[in-house]
Structure 1
Amino acid sequence: MNETLTKILSTSPTDPDVNLPRIGRSMARMRLMTGRRLIGRLAIQSAAPGLELSHLDVLDAVRRAEPAGEVTVGTIAEMLRIDPSRASRVVAEMVGRNVLRREASQADARRIVVVITDAGQALLAEIHAQKLAIISEIVSDWPGEDIERFATLFERFIGGYEAIFLSRDKDTPG
């Protein structure tokens, strides 16, 4: 028996030498699909023709930052790692489309903050619905136990991934 076949036959289903590369390959495939921004494109087609993916990025940044306090263009630029002038242009476009609005800060009236409008909330809801519809279609033939186990393990994996990234990323404060 040749060496490769012997190794394949002697590996167990829990062998990290087999499974870790499988995870890596699956991550690469997912990165390619995510890079194509399939969910965002579908949401734009159905809910907001004329918007661009960068608009959705800004909207999502505002949504994620709002719980921590007031959101400024600087906050958005930092979160998306883009130039503040680019963030300002995209915010201005979204204000013009009534997805975001600018208002005076409650803490410092000299500062302008960015807030999601009702139309922006509706767009976020549509994006969320698109995402859930796609996930639902993917797992439609999975047993409920598999969905529950995958959700638990995927959350754990992503949490570990984020923790390692944050501990090693030189551009992340703290």
Structure 2
Amino acid sequence: MHASRDGGPALFRLVRHWARQWGPDVVERFAAGAPPAWTVPNLFVIQAIDGATGDEVTVADVARQLGIDRSVASRMAAEATRDGFVVRSTSTRDARRAVLTLTEAAKEFLDASRAHQRQAFEGLVGHWPAEDRERFAGYLSRLADEVLG
């Protein structure tokens, strides 16, 4: 297979690149000028709650979305609650379960994060023809949906 068409190695090169981009020093730069509570763990919880299906999102849903242990998800959700991004309430179906909902502050953080993500995408492929950018964005979305649900 021609190297430029070999998707496996290219994918893993990108994964390594993005893993380095999310190192602690880069995360601090991303948050520069933002409220101190705009942390990556809080963003992960917000994204998990936002992406969960169903009318009642629980800690178990967050754990499933993030691929982490329920106890870790519970601690992360508690921090996001303390920081004003999540409201915990009692389930209307089962009084033993806590339901997690996003606050307006969480929605603001999520919007800012999505704007940052769009800028990052444009920074990488903004010089490509519009048709190629749209096609690539569609393929990325399709892959994310298939892999992550």
Q: Report the TM range for the smaller structure's normalisation.
A: 0.7 to 0.9
CA RMSD, 1 decimal: 2.8
The answer to whether the 8 Å contact 1:44/1:50 transfers is no
Match of 1:75 among 43, 61, 69: 61
The answer to whether the 8 Å contact 1:59/1:116 transfers is yes
Pair 134,89 (structure 1): closer, same or farther in 2 beyond 3 Å: same
User: After TM superposition, where is structure 1 displaced by more than 6 Å over at least 4 residues in a row?
Assistant: none
Number of residue pairs aligned between Structure 1 and Structure 2 = 145
Partner of 2:94: 108
Percentage of identical aligned residues: 30
Which letter does structure 2 place at the counterpart of 1:25? P
SS in 1 for 2:6: helix
Partner of 1:87: 73
Pair 45,79 (structure 1): closer, same or farther in 2 beyond 3 Å: same
Pair 155,123 (structure 1): closer, same or farther in 2 beyond 3 Å: closer
The answer to whether the 8 Å contact 2:86/2:101 transfers is yes
Q: CA deviation at 1:69?
A: 2.4
Match of 2:7 among 18, 23, 45: 23
Q: How does 1:155-174 map to 2 (within 5 A)?
A: 155-156=141-142, 158=143, 162=147
Partner of 2:19: 35
Structure 1: stretches of 5+ with no match in the other structure: 1-16, 167-174
The structure number with the bigger radius of gyration is 1
SS in 1 for 2:99: strand
The answer to whether the 8 Å contact 1:102/1:112 transfers is yes
For normalisation by structure 1, the TM-score amounts to 0.69
Question: Take 2:104 and 2:48, find their aligned partners in 1: how far apart are those partners?
Answer: 16
Question: Take 2:76 and 2:35, find their aligned partners in 1: how far apart are those partners?
Answer: 15
Partner of 2:47: 60
Which letter does structure 2 place at the counterpart of 1:112? A
Q: CA deviation at 1:155?
A: 4.3
Which letter does structure 2 place at the counterpart of 1:55? N
The answer to whether the 8 Å contact 2:90/2:96 transfers is yes
